[in-house]
Structure 1
Amino acid sequence: MILRGKCHKFGNDVNTDYIISGKYKFKTLDMNELAKHVMEDLDPDFYSKVTSGDFIVAGSNFGCGSSREQAPLAIKYAKIGAVIAKSFARIFYRNAINTGLPVIECDTDKINAGDELEVDLSKGTIKNLTTGEDIPIKPLPDVMIKILRDGGLIEHFKKYGTFNF
């Protein structure tokens, strides 16, 4: 599974309220509408800057805070190809995989805003096409790659009628 896009960089401890503000939680369940507000408290123009397949890149503890499933779903509907961070809050990590949003753990210090990346989830590598640097990533287990390829856990179940991996 190979992904390619440009980076939008954020810092440490990006919580689920920063990802999608709680003020939208009860206004709509339309994910396409929620996607327009992803990261707006950190970057009000974020949605207008994103091109399909781009990456959110962050520091440590991305997705901390409440276990809002809307957070990874809104990112996915904003056409983000993956979230790349030094570490993730565990509940966000699992919600992301279950909804079909790739999450990648690696050292993000050498990735800058605007860098063009190519991510190979199967090989466990990131190529920074802007700097030429190769960045090793924590490889995802095959079962997670399969869930991501299928579009998330529910889509996997629809396809196979089982959760046996």
Structure 2
Amino acid sequence: MNSEITGKIIVVGDNIDTDQIYPGCYLALTDPKEIGSHCLSGVDVNIAANFPQGGIVVAGRNFGCGSSREHAPIALLNMGAKAVIADSFARIFFRNAVNLGLVPVICKGISKKVKEGQTLTLDFVKGVVTVQETGESYPCEALGEQAMKILAAGGIKPLMRARFAKEKAEQKAE
């Protein structure tokens, strides 16, 4: 997995909860494209339609608070987000994002230092975010080794499938 993600950003505020990320009235949907089309509609109904594919969501404090629903990171991925950079995350959202293959990075104060539409490059191994328009860089918290393994595999399910397939192949070889 490439350790850098570059994309245009949208900026949202503090305490964006999972119901704002993916409102409960859409929980019965199963089509990934349709799920993505409703992402962040609790903040602004136009966000998903205007989101830059491969983009990055920048948020304030406590992003992903509220319920533990996995639909929030699923919706972000299906909207086209490659990463979320926030001042802080709700713990369960952070874990769900990693497990589903969405890169979550803590970068304290970032939401006040960047502007909507800028392009950021996130190096999540080095723990640095660089604003392409200005060249300014900001330190972030590096992701742990296990989170990196999960993200490199595309999520916890692909990681476990690969692990089980390897173990099965080794057992057959014995």
- In which range does the TM-score fall when normalised by the shorter chain? over 0.9
State the Cα RMSD in Å: 1.2
**Of 114, 118, 127, the match for 1:124:** 127
Query: What is the TM-score when the length of structure 2 is the normalising length?
Result: 0.89
1:148 match: secondary structure: helix
**How far apart in 1 are the matches of 2:39 and 2:78?**
9
Who wins on radius of gyration, i.e. which is larger?
2
1:83 match: secondary structure: strand
**How far apart in 2 are the matches of 1:48 and 1:157?**
34
What is residue 111 of structure 1 aligned with on the other side?
A: 114
What is residue 157 of structure 1 aligned with on the other side?
A: 160
1:161 match: secondary structure: helix
Matches for 1:53-68 after TM superposition, within 5 Å: 53-68=54-69
Task: Count residues with an aligned counterpart.
Answer: 161
Give structure 1 regions of 4+ aligned residues with deviation exceeding 2 angstroms: 29-32
**How far apart in 2 are the matches of 1:115 and 1:25?**
32
What is residue 7 of structure 2 aligned with on the other side?
A: 5
**How far apart in 2 are the matches of 1:161 and 1:120?**
30
Structure 1 residues 89-114: Cα deviation after superposition (integer angstroms, max 9, x where no partner) = 00101000000100010121211111
**Of 134, 143, 147, the match for 1:144:** 147
The code of the aligned residue for 1:25 comes to L
- Specify which structure has the higher proportion of helix: 2
The code of the aligned residue for 2:15 comes to D
**How far apart in 2 are the matches of 1:51 and 1:41?**
18
Shift of 1:150: 0.9
Shift of 1:30: 2.4
Query: What is the TM-score when the length of structure 1 is the normalising length?
Result: 0.93
Q: What percentage of residue pairs aligned between the two structures are identical?
A: 38
Contact conserved, 1:121 with 1:145, CA < 8 A, in 2? no
What is residue 172 of structure 2 aligned with on the other side?
A: none
Q: Which runs of 5 or more structure 1 residues have no equivalent in the other structure? A: none
Structure 1 residues 61-116: Cα deviation after superposition (integer angstroms, max 9, x where no partner) = 00000111011011011110101100000010100000010001012121111111
Q: Which runs of 5 or more structure 2 residues have no equivalent in the other structure? A: 166-174
The code of the aligned residue for 1:68 comes to R
What is residue 21 of structure 1 aligned with on the other side?
A: 23
